[in-house]
Structure 1
Amino acid sequence: MQTITLFELPPAEAVRPTRRRRPLALGELPVSSVPAAYDREHLYSPKANTAAAVDHRPGDQFPPLPVPPSGPKAWGAWWRDEASMPTPDYLGLEPGDVITLHDGDTATVVSTCRFGAVVRYALPPSDWHDQDHAEMYVTARNQFGHWYR
């Protein structure tokens, strides 16, 4: 008997299970495609203007992100051509990882780029919206292992 489906499901091997990562020890720099710095108990990826002033681990694939220019057209080009360039990871975060946000909620990494990682987190039910989730960028991790922007 043949069943009718309303949508195509990806094959089971294409679905990547989510995983919770144990945060790196304080002061430990992750192996990453982007540069990694640890300063005042916070892990982040330094931009070109601060990379020279802080001790950092160079990225495996990318140099520090150039400083964004002023002006909407120049900034838009910087965002398209530099900042939003996809990367295999961001400071060790990979798509599918489950992380803790600064407020204690959990989120799943959706994608990574040179600027940061896009994460999706659940929203509580509300009369003010009909979405069940929201997305945001995370660009740094604090001393408690919580990610924030």
Structure 2
Amino acid sequence: MQTIALFDVAPTVPAPAKPRRPLALGELPISSVPAAYDREHLYSPQANTAAVIDHRPGDQFPPLPTSPSGPKTWRDWWRTEASVSTPDYLGLEPGDVITVVGKTTATVVSTCRFGAVVRYELPRSPWATETHGEMYVTARNQFGHWYR
């Protein structure tokens, strides 16, 4: 007796990741958020500084408004302004491998208006239970290392 398959599932081989060319130092990226250079550091200016510096406007978002000081108003600002998902942050896209300060290699997990979340491997230790850490990066220095 012959069985009938509901789905013909063929094993798929993922396409090899195409390496992206790192952005040259001193070059403003085409990005969904504004981009600026100051003393050889690439960053996304906030609304209060964007008015007085040369910057490249973002393709999808204006400069991020300055954060308020109160806890409730800050939480609302974070949810509605800062943590809004973006396709990239200063040219970084999910899956990119970058170097953070300290020459640690990290992988971009996600991007938002505030920055990019990166995951990096933690040193092995008999006392540690976690193998990876995460942090935001918001700027790049003149050596090509990202930091917060």
**Structure 2-normalised TM-score?**
0.87
Report SS of the residue matched to 2:135: strand
Aligned partner of 1:8 in structure 2 is none
Contact 1:107–1:122 under 8 Å retained in 2: yes
Task: Check conservation: 1:121, 1:135, Cα contact below 8 A.
Answer: yes
Task: Among all aligned residue pairs of Structure 1 and Structure 2, give the percentage whose two residues are the same amino acid.
Answer: 75
Specify the alignment match of 2:130 in structure 1.
Answer: 131
Match of 2:88 in 1: 89
| Rg larger for | 2
Q: Shift in Å at residue 37 of structure 1?
A: 0.3
| Alpha-carbon distance in structure 2 between the residues aligned to 1:124 and 1:25 | 30
Equivalence for 2:115? 116
Q: Which runs of 4+ in 1 moved over 6 A?
A: none
| 1:127 positional shift | 2.6
Q: In the aligned structure 2, how far is the partner of 1:12 from the partner of 1:78?
A: 42
Distance in 2 (alpha carbons) for counterparts of 1:56 and 1:16: 35
Provide, for residues 43-98 of structure 1, a one-character-per-residue CA deviation record: whole Å limited to 9, x for no partner: 00000000011100000000000000011000000000000000000000000000
SS of aligned partner of 1:56: coil
Report deviation, 1:129: 1.7
Letter in 1 for 2:47: A
| Secondary structure of the corresponding residue to residue 72 of structure 2 | helix
Within 1, Cα distance between the matches of 2:82 and 2:16? 26
Report the Cα distance in structure 2 between the residues aligned to 1:127 and 1:31, rounded to whole angstroms.
44
Aligned residue number for residue 107 of structure 1: 106
**Can you list the C-alpha shifts for 1:90-141, whole angstroms capped at 9, x where unaligned?**
0000000000111101000000000000000000111332111000000000
Cα distance change of structure 1 residues 66 and 117 upon mapping to structure 2, 3 Å threshold: same
Aligned CA distance change for structure 1 residues 54 and 16 (closer, same or farther; 3 Å) = farther
- CA distance in structure 1 between the aligned counterparts of 2:87 and 2:57, rounded to whole angstroms: 15
Structure 2 gaps of 5+ residues are 1-11
Partner of 2:25: 26
SS in 1 for 2:120: strand
Q: How many residues align?
A: 137
Which amino acid counterpart does residue 106 of structure 1 have in structure 2?
T
State how 1:50-89 maps to structure 2 within 5 Å: 50-89=49-88
